[in-house]
Amino acid sequence: MKFDWKRTFFVGLAFFGISAFWQGYDLYVSLTLEGIFGFDNTKRGVVMALDNIFALFLLPLFGKLSDRTKSRYGKRTPYIIAGTVVAAVAFIFVAHTSDSALRALIAGQDAMPYLPSFIAALLVALLAMSVYRSPAVALMPDVTPKPLRSKANAVINLMGGLGGISVMLLGIMFYKETFTRSGSDVAVGPIIPVLSGISGVMLISLAIFAMFVREPKLVTQMKAESVRYNIAEEEPAGEKQTSKLPRAVLPSMLLLLSAVFLWFMGYNAVTSSFSVYAKDIWGLEGGNMNLPLLVAHGAAMVMFIPIGFIASKIGRKKTILAGIIIIGAAFGGSFFFRDSFSPLILVFFALAGIGWATINVNSFPMVVEMSRSSSIGVFTGYYYTASMAAQIVTPILSGVVMDKLGRISLFPYAIVFVALSFVAMLFVMHGDSKAAMPKDKLELYDVED
């Protein structure tokens, strides 16, 4: 079975835009709240957690709605187009409101009158992202035969990484000014070129997506290819049954979603508290604080595609279990450096990035492998609900643990949850890739894959 790189690239443009938005949201909205509006850590944290809170309820909802949508453009494309356009336009309003507040602040005026408009535009953008995130991610399995979904998800993750890099490049080019508040310099602008640039990236990627992705045609091609290789699924009669899993599969789905929650509890605890840990425990300052995370991100991007090929050979479950072990070992190695920074830490974080990529490339395809084509959207929502729930809980819980035991407890905390995810994953018995066998056995001699 031949993997269609071109098709997957164009489908991945939707995720490219999503990642660009979230990279910009995490980097610049947080700085705006602190630098312009003077939010303390608690208030800023509440606003920055809104996307995860919305995701808990809206991602499964719109995933399910897209499963049931019928239009000439397909099930997912209408949500992708509408959500991207609204989010991009709302982000432009966020940019202009931030800029107006900044100008008022520089002129010695109060910036707070602009806060309601800023929050309103931000809420519209977050809601729009929640509308199309599940449909955008669900499109990949809709148009990709089951045995090829790990490879396709690797490409999708790579596209997401490139979307994040595009935002970093925008920041390098435009985000250079600072404003002095309470005796300290806070980077706050210029806002408009960066956030409007992110909106431009989203709209350009959407335009290319709309030009080259014909969802109904691609779905038809996927179904025909699945029939050809004897991997087409049989849907149960009756629309009400299509969202229900077979009784034998349900425990595996619940265990897999539990594993997703647990490994996000471990990994996100490290990423969310890393800057303070690196400063206090390892003595890193300034931009050097993010160096280990940048190494992890780079290692993950390099390995996305190879991991997809490895999983197609040895299976998704074995690959994920190996990734969990790698992350646990990397966190364990990092923990032993308690007094100062060592270059070996970069090696451990490169391993952590590889392990994390190994998990992410294969876990989502396992979820959709267990679901039916008529319910991919809703289970995509459940997958992200599990991850988002962990990202809401773990910064708070890990903070409590570190307050009690000290920041040195961060890595042991993460290792505990990573180990628990390994246990949960051991008992997942469904969702692995299946070998594709063509009806015409002469095709076994086709070596183009």
Which structural domains are found in the chain, ordered by start?
1-231 (1.20.1250.20), 245-433 (1.20.1250.20)
75 pLDDT more than 90? yes
Q: Of 29, 82, 95, nearest to 203 (Cα)?
A: 82
Chain mean pLDDT for the chain: 85
Per-residue pLDDT at 381 exceeds 80? yes
Question: Which pLDDT belongs to residue 3?
Answer: 86
DSSP state of 107: T
Share of the chain above pLDDT 70, in %: 88
The three-state secondary structure class of 315 is coil
pLDDT in tens, 312-340: 889 999 999 999 999 999 999 999 987 77
Condensed to tens digits (0 to 9), the pLDDT of residues 186-202 reads 555 567 888 889 999 99
Residue 189, classed as helix, strand or coil, is strand
- Cα–Cα distance between 126 and 157 in angstroms, integer? 21
Mean per-residue pLDDT, 172-181: 60
d(CA 171, CA 297): 17
Q: What is the pLDDT of residues 127-167, one digit of tens each?
A: 999 999 999 989 999 999 888 888 898 899 889 888 888 88
Distance CA 382, CA 400 (A): 27
Q: Residue 239 above 50 pLDDT?
A: no
Lookup result for tokens 């992200």: 384
What is the model's pLDDT at position 165? 81
Q: CA-to-CA distance for 44 and 33, rounded, in angstroms?
A: 6
Model confidence at 13, in pLDDT bands (50, 70, 90)? very high
Q: Which residue has the tokens 């395809």?
A: 365
What are residue 177's DSSP bridge partners? 189
Averaged pLDDT for residues 166-186: 63
Q: In the predicted model, is pLDDT for residue 115 greater than 60?
A: yes
| Residue 233 pLDDT greater than 70, yes or no | no
Average pLDDT over residues 212-235: 85
Q: Strand, helix or coil at 447?
A: coil
Other residues' Cβ atoms within 10 Å of the Cβ of residue 236? 12
Render pLDDT for 406-422 as a digit per residue (tens, 0 to 9): 889 999 999 999 999 99
Q: Predicted confidence band at 442 (pLDDT cuts at 50, 70, 90)?
A: very low
The pLDDT of residue 181 is above 50: yes
End-to-end CA distance of the chain: 6
> Which residue did the predictor score with more confidence, 412 or 179?
412
Core vs surface per residue 197-211: b (16+ CB within 10 A) or e: bbbbbbbebbeebbe
Long-range contacts of 56-61 (CB under 8 A, 24+ apart): 56/385, 56/388, 56/389, 56/392, 58/127, 58/130, 58/131, 59/130, 59/133, 59/134, 59/380, 59/381, 59/384, 59/385, 59/388, 60/134, 60/378, 60/381, 60/382, 60/385, 61/381
Residues 93-119 have a mean pLDDT of 89
The CA dihedral of 92, 118, 85, 78, to the nearest 10 degrees, is 170
